[in-house]
């Protein structure tokens, strides 16, 4: 036995003394696992006759104060030399016993119960008696015979050090698992099934070396895709693994200011309510929005007001509409929300989804009725038609609008409309003349002539008389394949209100509507709620000897319609017959789209009674942004009235056909 400085021997008789001083000595192979300790000698490598230093690695999560280690080696391959204390030993003594060939017993003791730290228990020098071109375990620790001394009675296992076989990165990446924001600290941690492992991280623009299983905090300076390479190594070798991560800007869900109860805010965007696992947000001014995109540097936002728009924190309150046109939201505006559409070159607001009411009454004397739309939307023109009874003429409007025009066209009213229709018996015209009528829009001479015509002929192009001939489009005996739809009048010059149909009448070719069997979408506005509708032509049919194309119009469950359309030789498109929700709603054919579209056009001639089914133009030559986000020029809007259905507004585009129905 030898004892030198830091090189000590311990005889077997000292074991009882050691146990008495330090407490419990555990053989670890049969203990219940609740703590882990790793013990292993480094691999041997080198050339013959070379002296190498082999460290004995030690790592534990238990308080170990002493050890009795058995080192096994082949004396024909290596020759033991100097024995030194390792860096895991502080106030300990080392004793060695070399009495058994090919075996070294190291006993490590501390008289003050000083714990051992992770690292090297000892550094052993060996003379190589052969070449070791590849690392090998020529020197090993016999774990079955080695003993460890613990301060507590906690059982633990001693395990050999394993080679690194895998690496994983665990850091708080949200929401897709491989994305994080640039202003957040990213925590890299590696897990392997080996211990005493060192790691080298290469993150594109930074490298770092870590001595043991640990983590590294790093914040990227700019967005992008980065390749992170991790090298883990121990005495048994090294293992490389690469990870691709995406660095993005601030995240909506994680980087906004949390105001509590689901409310969040960004200084640039304002306050909004957000629920987890949902892309719907409620903005304090803009209302409900659907957000697509997790970062504030690129976000698509859908609004019922303008549809899809792209924005980010540098652009907002500007948005790029899905059509490519820019929108500008007047920040802070609400009820109504105002925005500028650079494609339409006009200021708009969300009042279009709010409806107004028309309160139309008839004077106490009766004498007729009115027809028109009961509800309308911001930006719509409103038309009201007075229909005098037999023996009466229309004498004018009173209330919010004082006029003798019939139909009365009100341009973009901004509030509810309350108005009353007045009718005068024809007998009173004999007594009082034009003074009983509201004919301020006519000169005195024209007004006198109009009254005279009514008294002599029963009708005038300036007065609507209940004695005028009923506007019956179909006359008995007129229905042939080349039938003429008669206006019922004796005046043969009223060709605008009659139609001659040839063999190709079902082939609709109009600037604002053409035959197409493809499904086309349009906007359906009902009670202030926007919905998506579809229309298409399905087949041909013959109604009253006229060949028609059937146009099916569907706007969810609220409105399902079939229209039998036909085009006369003059180019006018006629609505021959229609059904709404399976019910026949029309008595008489009417012109739906005149060949020559003009503002305030109507489908019946002046001086004749208003038909049960009619079409009345309310706006022409205006721009409209359809549901496909494209702007259509030269659009045409009108009111379509059927005998069994109140009127509805419709808009037709020369490039898309039907683009909007509002009820």
Highest mean pLDDT among 442-456, 474-488, 631-645: 631-645
Q: Give the single-character DSSP code of 423.
A: E
More confident: 662 or 174: 662
| Structure confidence at residue 392 (pLDDT) | 87
CA separation (Å) from 211 to 59, 162, 192?
A: 13, 17, 14
482 pLDDT above the threshold of 60:
no
Closest Cα to residue 58, out of 143, 165, 125?
143
Specify the range with the lowest mean pLDDT, choosing from 96-105, 289-298, 425-434, 584-593.
425-434
For the chain, the structural domain boundaries read 12-159, 179-248, 252-352, 355-457, 484-662
Neighbour tally for 332: CB within 10 Å = 11
Cite the beta strand spans of 367-519 per DSSP E: 368-372, 375-377, 382-388, 392-399, 408-410, 417-425, 484-485, 499-500, 509-510, 513-514
Secondary structure letter of residue 506 according to DSSP: T
The answer, yes or no, to whether residue 275 has pLDDT greater than 70, is yes
Q: How far apart are CA 135 and CA 140, in angstroms?
A: 13
What confidence tier does 487 reach under pLDDT thresholds 50, 70, 90?
A: very low
Question: Do 12-159 and 179-248 share a fold?
Answer: yes
**Alpha-carbon distances, residue 83 vs 29, 126, 147, 478 (angstroms):** 27, 9, 19, 124
Spatial contact of 509 and 515, defined as CB atoms under 8 Å apart: yes
Tell me the pLDDT of the chain averaged across its residues. Answer: 80
Cα dihedral: 253, 258, 264, 267 (round 10) = -100
Please name which of 495, 465, 485 lies closest in space to residue 610, comparing C-alpha atoms: 465
Residue 278 has pLDDT above 80, yes or no: yes
CA distance 429 to 568: 40
Q: What is the domain class of 12-159 according to CATH?
A: mainly beta
Give the pLDDT band (50/70/90) at residue 379: confident
Are 396 and 438 in contact by the 8 Å Cβ rule? The answer is yes
pTM over 0.75, yes/no: no
- pLDDT value at residue 81: 93
Query: 65 vs 3, 59, 110, 164, 212, CA distance in Å?
Result: 21, 13, 7, 28, 22
Average of per-residue pLDDT across 512-541: 88
pLDDT reading at 4 higher than 50: no
Please, which residues bridge with residue 534 across strands? 521, 554
Pairing verdict, β 270-274 and 263-266: antiparallel
For 564, phi then psi, to 5°, come to: -100, 110
> What are the φ and ψ backbone dihedral angles of 141, each rounded to 5 degrees?
-100, 130
Confidence of residue 170 (pLDDT cuts 50, 70, 90): low
Q: Does residue 128 surpass a pLDDT of 60? A: yes
| Pairwise pLDDT comparison (240 vs 29), residue with the higher score | 240
- What was the pLDDT predicted at 155? 63
Spell out where 86-213 has E strands.
Answer: 93-97, 103-109, 119-128, 132-136, 139-141, 147-150, 157-159, 179-181, 186-189, 198-202, 207-210
Helix (H, G, I), strand (E, B) or coil at 96: strand
Dump pLDDT digits (tens) for 426-444: 888 877 878 888 887 788 8
What does the pLDDT average to over 373-402? 87
CA–CA gap between residue 73 and residue 481 (Å, rounded) = 113
Number of H helices, E strands in the chain: 4, 53
- Contact in structure between 91 and 6 (CB atoms under 8 Å): no
- Spacing of C-alpha 210 from chain mean position: 42
Q: Are 25 and 158 in contact (CB under 8 A)?
A: no
d(CA 608, CA 192): 93
Residue showing tokens 């050691």: 18
Q: For residues 451 and 636, which has the higher predicted lDDT (pLDDT)?
A: 636
Task: Tell me which of 3.20.20.70, 3.40.1380.20, 2.40.50.140, 2.60.40.10 is the CATH number of domain 179-248.
Answer: 2.60.40.10
Give CA–CA dist 58/310, Å, rounded.
59
Neighbours of 333 (CB within 10 A): 15
Report yes or no: 467 and 391 within 8 Å, Cβ to Cβ: yes
DSSP secondary structure code for residue 169 in this structure: B
For tokens 């200084």, the residue is 267
Contacts 24+ apart (CB under 8 A), 99-105: 101/75, 102/72, 102/73, 102/74, 102/75, 103/70, 103/71, 103/72, 103/73, 103/142, 104/70, 104/71, 104/73, 104/80, 105/68, 105/69, 105/70, 105/71
- The whole-angstrom distance between residue 518's C-alpha and the CA centroid of its chain comes to 27
Q: How far is CA 433 from CA 215, 403, 438, 444, 468, in A?
A: 101, 18, 11, 11, 19
Q: Write out pLDDT tens, residues 542-581.
A: 988 899 999 999 987 778 899 999 999 999 999 999 998 8
Percent of the chain with pLDDT over 90: 30
User: Strand pairing of 179-181 and 237-248?
Assistant: parallel
Angstrom distance (rounded) from CA 385 to CA 373: 10
Please give the Cα distance from 386 to 388 (Å, whole number). 6
**Pair 212, 194: CB distance under 8 Å:** no
Q: Specify whether the CB–CB gap between 321 and 307 falls below 8 A.
A: yes
Per-residue pLDDT for 214 more than 80?
no
- State both tokens at 631: 């702007």
Contact between 430 and 392 under an 8 Å Cβ cutoff? The reply is no
């Amino acid at each position: 036995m030898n004892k030198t400085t830091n090189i000590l021997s311990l005889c077997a008789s000292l074991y009882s003394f050691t146990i008495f001083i330090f407490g419990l000595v555990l053989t670890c192979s049969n203990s219940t696992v609740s703590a882990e300790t790793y013990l292993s000698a480094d691999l041997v490598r080198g050339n013959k006759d070379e002296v190498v230093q082999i460290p004995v690695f030690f790592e534990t999560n238990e308080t170990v104060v002493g050890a009795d280690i058995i080192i096994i080696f082949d004396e024909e391959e290596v020759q033991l030399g100097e024995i030194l204390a390792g860096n895991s030993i502080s106030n300990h003594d080392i004793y060695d016993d070399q009495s058994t060939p090919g075996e070294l017993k190291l006993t490590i003791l501390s008289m003050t119960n000083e714990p051992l730290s992770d690292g090297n228990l000892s550094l052993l020098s060996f003379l190589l008696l052969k070449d070791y071109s590849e690392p090998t375990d020529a020197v090993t620790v016999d774990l079955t015979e080695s003993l460890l001394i613990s301060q507590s009675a906690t059982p633990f296992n001693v395990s050999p050090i394993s080679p690194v076989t895998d690496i994983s990165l665990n850091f708080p990446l949200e929401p897709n698992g491989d994305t994080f924001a640039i202003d957040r600290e990213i925590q890299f941690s590696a897990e392997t099934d080996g211990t005493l492992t060192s790691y080298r991280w290469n993150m594109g623009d930074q490298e770092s070396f870590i001595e043991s299983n640990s983590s590294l905090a790093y914040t990227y300076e700019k967005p992008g895709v980065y390749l992170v390479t991790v090298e883990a190594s121990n005495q048994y070798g090294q293992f490389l693994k690469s990870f691709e991560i995406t660095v993005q800007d601030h995240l909506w869900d994680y980087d906004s200011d949390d105001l509590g109860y689901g409310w969040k805010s960004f200084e640039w965007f304002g306050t909004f309510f957000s629920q987890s696992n949902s892309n719907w947000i409620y903005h304090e001014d803009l209302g409900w929005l659907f957000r697509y995109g997790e970062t504030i540097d690129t976000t698509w936002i859908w609004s019922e007001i303008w549809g899809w728009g792209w924005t980010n924190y540098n652009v907002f309150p500007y948005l790029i509409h899905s059509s490519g046109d820019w929108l500008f939201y007047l920040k802070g505006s609400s009820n109504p929300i105002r925005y500028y559409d650079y494609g339409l070159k006009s200021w708009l607001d969300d009042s279009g989804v709010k409806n107004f009411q028309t309160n139309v009454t008839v004077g106490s004397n009766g004498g007729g009725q009115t027809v028109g739309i009961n509800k309308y939307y911001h930006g719509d023109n409103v038309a009201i038609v007075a229909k005098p009874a037999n023996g009466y003429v229309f004498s004018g409007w009173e209330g919010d609008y004082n006029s003798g025009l019939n139909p009365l066209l009100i341009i973009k009213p901004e509030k509810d409309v309350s108005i009353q229709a007045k009718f005068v018996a024809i007998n009173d015209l004999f007594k009082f003349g034009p003074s009983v009528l509201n004919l301020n829009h006519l000169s005195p001479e024209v007004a006198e002539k109009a009254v005279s015509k009514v008294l002599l002929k029963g009708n005038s192009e300036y007065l609507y008389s209940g004695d005028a001939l009923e506007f019956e489009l179909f006359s008995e005996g007129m229905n042939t394949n080349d039938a003429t739809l008669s206006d019922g009048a004796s005046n043969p010059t009223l060709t605008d209100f009659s139609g001659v149909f040839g063999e190709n009448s079902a082939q609709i070719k109009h600037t604002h509507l053409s035959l197409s069997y493809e499904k086309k979408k349009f906007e359906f506005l009902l009670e202030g709620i926007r919905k998506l509708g579809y229309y298409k032509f399905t087949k041909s049919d013959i109604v009253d000897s006229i060949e028609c194309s059937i146009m099916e119009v569907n706007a969810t469950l609220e409105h399902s319609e079939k229209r039998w359309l036909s085009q006369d030789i003059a180019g006018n498109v006629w609505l021959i017959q229609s059904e709404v929700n399976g019910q026949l709603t029309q008595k008489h054919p009417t012109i739906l789209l005149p060949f020559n579209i003009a503002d305030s056009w109507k489908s019946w001639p002046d001086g004749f009674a208003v038909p049960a089914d009619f079409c009345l133009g309310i706006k022409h030559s205006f721009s409209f942004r359809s549901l496909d986000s494209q702007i259509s020029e030269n659009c045409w809007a009108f009111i379509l009235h059927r005998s069994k259905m109140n009127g509805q507004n419709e808009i037709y585009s020369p490039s898309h056909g039907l683009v909007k129905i509002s009820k």
